Amino acid sequence: MKFILKYTTFINEAFLQKDKEKAINLIIDFLKKKAEVDFYSYDELWHIQKDSLFLSGQLWISLKSDKAIRMNWVEGDIRSEIHSIDIWNQFKFDTNPQYTIELGGNSVAKCLTDISSFFNNPQLFIGQSVKEEFTSKEELNQELEDETKKLKRLRNPERIEIQKQKIANLQAKIAAPEKAETESEKINQLDDDLKIEVFKSIELYTRQVATGKSNSLIVTGDSGVGKTQTVIDTLESLGLKEDVDYYIATGTATTAALYELLFRFRNKLLLFDDCDDVFKDPDSNNILKGALDTYQKRSVSKLTKGNTFDSVGMSDSDMEEQFKSSGKYPNKFVFTGQVIFVSNLTEKDFSDALLSRSLHVDVHLNRTELFDRMKEIMKKLVPDADDDMKLEALEYLAYVCNNYPTKFDLNIRTLIHSINLRVNNEEMIQIGDKEEEAWKLLIKKYLIKSRK
C-alpha cells in the first residue's frame, strides 16, 4: 500500500447529503473521459473502518481492465465531503486499495486531472521524488518516529511549534489499515445468526431493488424451496400491490414479449418467475443488458423491422400515445424500472454480462437445511390445518424421501400435497392383517416410484 501525499493544499469543497450522488457521478464522468476507463458503479456501498474512523464508500469498477476507484466519506457526516479516494490498478475483492489519496478536508475537484494522469500511468508519479510524492506506510512511520525524537531535543519555542506541526501533518498522512465490507457481507453475518442465510439474503436484496436502490436481482437454484414466495412476501411487506406496483410474468417469454413487458412496465418493478427462455436467447440477452445496467435511466432498443415505430426524438408521453393508437412499440425507449428474476437454472446458465449487472443469490440446500426451511415456513402453508398435523405430514414426508426412491424431490410443493393428504384423510385402511392410516398410504402412493 502506498499513499499519495501531494494533495494537501486544495480549497475545502463539501456538498450537501442530497447532492452527494450527483457530485460523485460528475467526478466519475470526468475520470471516464480523462483516464479513458469504463467505470461502472458497484451496486452496494462499502463500509470501511480505519482505527476509530468509520467511512462509507462508493466503488467503481472497470469491466475492461483491472482498474477500480472508491470515493469515501465519513458515515453520518451531513456535509458529505470526500474524505479519501482509493485506487486499484489490479482490483480484486477482499484486497486493500493499492493507493489512497488522503484529502484531509480539501477539495477533490482541484486534483482530478492529476488523478486521471495517475490512473493512466502511476509510474510517472513514482519516477519523481519518491519522498515527496509516494511514501510507503513503513517509511512514514519511521519518519514520524525520527521527527518525534527531534522534537524532544528542541528548545526554541518557534522551532518546537514548527516541529509539532510537521508531526501532526505526518500523523494525518498515515492511513490506518482498513477493514472493509459491503452490505451483503453484513447480510451474511446476520444470516449466520439467524440460521436462514440464503432466504434472508433474498429478502434484503428484494428490498434493495424494490426501493430503487439497485436495478435488478437474479435468484437462481433449487426449485420448490420458496424463492418466489420470499420475494412476493417481501414486496407485500413493503406495501406494494401486484398489477399496480409490480407485475409477475411466468412461463415462456419470447424476445418480442420481453421487449413489450419492459416498455409497458418501464417505470415499475417486473418479476420474472421461471421465464428461463429469455436467458437462452441472444437477442433477449442483449435487450436485458440495457435494461439491467447500473444507471438510473437505461436505454432499451430493438432496432429491427416488425411491430415497432421509429421513436428517435420522441418524448415518453408521445411514445405512450403512439403505442395506444397504433398498438406498436417504440424501437428505443428509456427504462427506469427494476427487474427481479427467479429461476431454477444455476448460476452457470447465466451470462457474466447479466450477473455483473445484478445482485445475485444462488440457492442450494442439503436435505437437513431443506427440512429446517420447510419447518420454518409450514406455518404459512394450508392456514386452516392444525400445526401438529402439518408437522406429522412433514416428518412422514421426510421419512419417505429418505427411505424410498421417489418421483419428486423433497420440496414445498410436495409438502403442501402431503399436508392436504394428512388433514383430509383420518380413516384407517385394512391392509392384510394390519390397519394403516390412510393419509400415510396416500403419501406413499403419491411419492414412491412404481416398480416396473
What's the CATH code of the domain at 297? 3.40.50.300
Domain span at 317: 196-363
* Alpha carbon distances (Å) from 268 to 209, 263, 301, 370, 430: 11, 10, 18, 33, 58
pLDDT digits (tens, 9 = 90+) for 179-209: 666 555 554 444 444 334 688 889 989 998 9
Does residue 422 sit within a domain?
yes
Do 7 and 106 contact (CB within 8 A), yes or no?
A: yes
The secondary structure of the chain in percent helix, strand, coil, rounded to multiples of 5, reads 45, 20, 35
Phi-psi region of 442 (alpha: psi -120 to 50; beta: other; left: phi over 0): alpha
**77 pLDDT exceeds 80?**
no
Query: Quick one: 347 and 387 in the same domain?
Result: no
Computed over every residue of the chain, the mean pLDDT equals 79
Query: Quick one: 127 and 98 in the same domain?
Result: yes
Of 62, 281, 73, 48, nearest to 181 (Cα)?
A: 48
Residue type present at position 260? E
* Alpha carbon distances (Å) from 136 to 1, 43, 164, 257, 415: 7, 31, 22, 57, 61
Query: Quick one: 346 and 305 in the same domain?
Result: yes
pLDDT: is 169 or 173 the higher one? 169
Of 399, 411, 423, 401, nearest to 374 (Cα)?
A: 411
Instruction: Kindly provide the b/e burial profile for residues 416-427, where b requires at least 16 CB atoms within 10 angstroms of the residue's own CB.
Output: bbbbbbbbebee
> What integer pLDDT is reported at residue 25 of this predicted model?
79
Predicted confidence band at 51 (pLDDT cuts at 50, 70, 90)? low
pLDDT: is 25 or 12 the higher one? 25
Query: Quick one: 442 and 381 in the same domain?
Result: yes
**252 pLDDT exceeds 60?**
yes
Query: Quick one: 101 and 232 in the same domain?
Result: no
CA atoms within 13 A on the CB side of 242: 8
CA 350 to chain centre: 16
pLDDT: is 83 or 435 the higher one? 435
pLDDT digits (tens, 9 = 90+) for 310-339: 998 899 999 999 999 999 999 999 999 999
Among 155-164, 263-272, 355-364, the minimum mean pLDDT is found in 155-164
Length of the chain in terms of residues written: 452
Domain final residue, candidates 345, 363, 381: 363
Query: Quick one: 76 and 212 in the same domain?
Result: no
Query: Quick one: 29 and 173 in the same domain?
Result: yes
**127 pLDDT exceeds 70?**
no
Query: Quick one: 412 and 305 in the same domain?
Result: no
Domain final residue, candidates 363, 391, 418: 363
- CB proximity list for 366: less than 8 A, separation 6 or greater: none
> What integer pLDDT is reported at residue 198 of this predicted model?
83
What is the number of domains present in the chain? 3
**417 pLDDT exceeds 60?**
yes
Query: Quick one: 142 and 24 in the same domain?
Result: yes
**Largest CA-CA distance found in the chain, in angstroms, rounded:** 109
**147 pLDDT exceeds 90?**
no
> What integer pLDDT is reported at residue 425 of this predicted model?
94
Query: Quick one: 138 and 263 in the same domain?
Result: no
Predicted confidence band at 132 (pLDDT cuts at 50, 70, 90)? very low
